[in-house]
Structure 1
């Protein structure tokens, strides 16, 4: 490899890593690290950032890392290289989730460029949406985006089913709020005003009081026992938006990673059309409630994410750790 090619590859690798660092993750815990060897990036789980009580198996951690892997793939394609990916390449190294290296030269298509442009703009929403409708054609497109990565995104259309999902979320949030250990695990990632930390949920990204939606979807209480957070306007948006379930046919580590990639592809496509997402994982952190959802609402498939999709004009900032903290 000549010097010019090596420099070009280094720039591509750097751009891909910057994109990976912008992926969504549970509580913005950013539970990943990367190692670079030549033209190859290793994606590793940072188990010190795992939610030990609410996510003991690491399912949400791997979904988060799957989203980062999708960003790596997308950025490489936009830099003109086809990524070559191996998922879970070494059974003896469970923290090594994937390797991705530069393959042949390739010209990115328009859709890949569209998704790549949204990586920096995408934000997680933690309140209600406006009453502006999410077009059915867009929802169907998101279904197709998720399917392309091996997962199923199902919009919950029946009002009765939406109320069931909302009630399960509210029940799980209530039970978890009574558990001091689980509450402390959540507020570990709540950042006070003016915090210099580059992970977790900053104070301007969550409300002091849980945001109201119709029907009511319980929010994480990042303001537990303190008065950090923002105060909602009296005229704040309250629509729950479109409720959707992301599922997989199995429940293996490989399928958790695939779910993360499917989630991120759908989120970026939604963002390109002005639609944001709010996540509700409380019920999925309680095995019996997750199993109820699987049997009663997911046609036997395993629910990996509960989300609401809608339109909001309440843009928030984002914090991310610098690459120097992420890359070996």
Structure 2
């Protein structure tokens, strides 16, 4: 393969970072470039003050951006030199990344790099197509490489418990106007030209319940926006939980990197993810899950993995808005 200049590798990394997944597609990151080094910062103006007061989900999102940048830089022919939380006096500076020695990206890295702009979040049920067990095993290994644990929940009883906790959290949030107003801030109407948030075509107007039912976010609250749900996409898919042994800012960034590694590899094999983090946004429920379900590890993400024939894209802000 031909290897470009370090400047080209930096450009590729910046472009890749903006395509990472984020809660409500808030895209809570900014980039700065100086002396062949990218600084990744959290954009706290895009933090969700009600559902994510600690900034945990914001940092997970930024961690996903960091992994995309690492991958693009390696695909561009350079090792990625990364420093996590390099300056205690600058808490908003989450990481720096710069091109190191020249390398030739391996097949796995090139596979991941090819999915960065293709991957998208699903917000409904899945088609009744099984996810191969061998793929799930590979996703577990991908998360482990990044310092997190992905646990597929195979027991129907355990899946029922997680679904019930999600429904309980969703029910509480539905009664809290603060959650509702925060959510609709990021729900985009049909024809919106905004380059962030969740467009109407990407969330269901009236979601079709799965069995057991994992409720979706109510992006259609108080209006009739949203897409018609395909009646053939009602499968729950494979339920999986991402956990970390600790709950520090560093662990949140690690969970984000693990998430993006998992999502890109899944996408390369025709599998998408739907997220259900409502229960993790409520401290008592999250602590219950940690103690009773996950052997003391901290749950960071709850997701369903499955096959969908929905190819909708999510908008992304132009790079010019992200550079500082």
The TM-score normalised by the length of structure 1 is: 0.97
Instruction: Report the alpha carbon displacement of residue 315 of structure 1 after superposing the two structures with TM.
Output: 1.2
- The residue number in structure 2 matching 1:81 is 78
Matches of residues 142-157 of structure 1 in structure 2 within 5 Å?
142-157=139-154
Change (3 A) 1:120 1:300: same
The residue number in structure 2 matching 1:217 is: 214
**Aligned residue in 2 for 1:138:** 135
Moved more, 199-208 or 10-19: 10-19
* Structure 1 unaligned residues grouped into runs of 5+: none
Partner of 1:199: 196
- Once the two structures are superposed, residues 54-110 of structure 1 have per-residue CA deviations (whole angstroms, 9 ceiling, x without a partner) of 100100000000000000100000000001000000111110000011111111000
Q: Give the CA deviation at 1:210.
A: 2.7
1:300 aligns with 2:296: yes
What residue in structure 2 maps to residue 269 of structure 1? Answer: 265
User: Is the CA contact 2:24–2:186 (under 8 Å) kept in the aligned structure 1?
Assistant: yes
Aligned-partner SS, 1:132: coil
State the 1:223 CA deviation.
0.6
Deviation at 1:38, TM superposition (A): 2.0
For residue 299 of structure 1, report the CA deviation from its aligned partner: 1.2
Q: CA shift at 1:295, angstroms?
A: 1.2
Cα contact 1:39–1:102 (8 A) shared by 2: yes
Structure 2 CA distance for aligned equivalents of residues 296 and 239 of structure 1: 27
User: 1:92-135 deviations in whole A, cap 9, x for unaligned?
Assistant: 11100000111111110000000000101101000000111000
- Report if aligned partners of 2:6, 2:78 keep a CA contact under 8 Å in 1: no
Q: Secondary structure at the match of 1:238?
A: strand
Instruction: Show structure 2 runs of 5+ residues with no match.
Output: none
In the alignment, which of 16, 32, 47 is matched to residue 19 of structure 1? 16
Aligned Cα root-mean-square deviation (Å): 1.1
- Residue 166 (structure 1) aligned to one of 163, 166, 173: 163
- Distance, in Å, in 2 between the alignment partners of 1:61 and 1:211 is 29
The CA deviation string for residues 19-51 of structure 1, in whole angstroms up to 9 with x for no partner, is: 000000000000000000021000000000000
Partners of 1:221 and 1:85 in 2: how far apart? 37
* 1:317 is aligned to 2:313: yes
| Deviation sequence 1:183-209 (CA, Å, 0-9, x none) | 100111000000010000000000111
Deviation at 1:9, TM superposition (A): 2.3
Q: What TM-score results when the alignment is normalised by the length of structure 2?
A: 0.98
Find the aligned partners of 1:106 and 1:38 in 2 and give their Cα distance: 20
In the TM superposition, what is the alpha-carbon distance from 1:231 to its structure 2 partner? 1.9
In 1, Cα distance between equivalents of 2:84 and 2:125: 36
Task: Tell me by how many angstroms 1:261 deviates.
Answer: 0.1
Q: How far is the alpha carbon of 1:10 from its aligned partner? A: 2.1
In structure 1, distance between residues paired with 2:206 and 2:294 = 31
**Deviation per residue, 1:252-293 (Å, 9 max, x gap):** 000000000001001100001000000001000000100111
Give the one of 18, 29, 32 matched to 1:32: 29
Residue aligning to 2:251:
255
- Does the residue aligned with 1:112 lie in a helix, a strand or coil? helix
Equivalent residue, structure 2, for 1:70: 67
